[in-house]
Amino acid sequence: MFAKFYPSRYVESAYLIPYEKLYAKGYRGIIFDIDNTLVPHGAPADERSAALFLRLENIGFSCCLLSNNGQERVELFKKDITEVHSIHKAGKPKIRNYKRAMELMGTDTSNTFFVGDQLFTDVWGAKRAGLFTILAAPMNPKEEIQIVLKRRLEYFVIREYRKKRLKTAAKKFDDAETIADGDMD
C-alpha cells in the first residue's frame, strides 16, 4: 500500500551519500531539495553545504536545486555555493520540474538521482519522474505543524519500508542495487 512512497535508499544525512561511488556508477546529475535536506529550514548555505557543492563540481556532477519555496529563499541558499542550477516554486510532487531540472543539467532519468527529506512531496514526485531516489533524514527537529503531521505519516511508511526491506533483502531492490554497493542504508 505504501510502496509508491518508498525511496530507493534511506540515509541519515545527505552528507553521508557516497557521491564518488555514484559518479563511478554512471550518475552525472543530482537534484536536491534544500530545506531540511541540505540546511535547516530557511537557512543560508553553511560551510558544509558549500564544501559539498564544491566537491560535487570537482567530481563532475551537474546539480540542480528543486524547491517548493520561493525565489528569495532559493537565492539565499545559492549565493554562497558554487555554480548550481535551481528551480523555485517547483510544485513537487508534480513531475514537471524534475524533468525541467534534468533539461537544465543535460541529463536524463538513467543518470540522475534525487535527494530530499520528505516522502510525500520529494520522494513521491521523484519516483514518478523515474528517478533513483534517496531519502535523507530531516535536519531540523523544529518544524511547522503541518510538516510535523506529515512526519507522523512518514514514520509509518518508513517503518513499513524498513520491515519490507529486511524481509525481501536485495531481491526486491535489484534495480537499486546496481547503482550502489548496498552500503547506503
Task: Tell whether omega for the bond before 44 is within 30 degrees of 0, i.e. cis.
Answer: no
Q: Is the Cβ–Cβ distance between 120 and 153 less than 8 Å?
A: yes
Interaction of residue 154 with Mg ion, rule CB under 5 A: no
Give the nearest distance from C-beta 34 to Mg ion in angstroms. 7
Q: Distance of alpha carbon 80 from its chain centroid, rounded?
A: 20
Q: Which residue lies nearer to Mg ion by CB, 26 or 70? A: 70
Q: How far is the CB of 126 from Mg ion (least distance, A)?
A: 12
Nearest C-alpha neighbor of 42 from the set 63, 66, 73: 73
Q: Out of 45, 49, 117, 161, name the contact with Mg ion by CB under 5 A.
A: 117
Restricted to residues 31-50, the positions that interact with Mg ion (CB under 5 A) are: 33, 35-37
Nearer to Mg ion, 28 or 139 (CB): 139
Least separation in angstroms between residue 60's CB and Mg ion is: 26
Q: Kindly compute the dihedral angle of the four CA atoms of residues 133, 139, 143, 149, in this order, to the nearest 10 degrees.
A: 40
Nearer to Mg ion, 33 or 154 (CB): 33
Helix, strand and coil content of the chain, in percent to the nearest 5, comes to 45, 15, 40
The CB-of-41 to Mg ion minimum distance in angstroms stands at 8
What value does the CA radius of gyration of the chain take, rounded to a whole number of Å? 15
User: Which residues contribute to the site for Mg ion (CB under 5 A)?
Assistant: 33, 35-37, 117
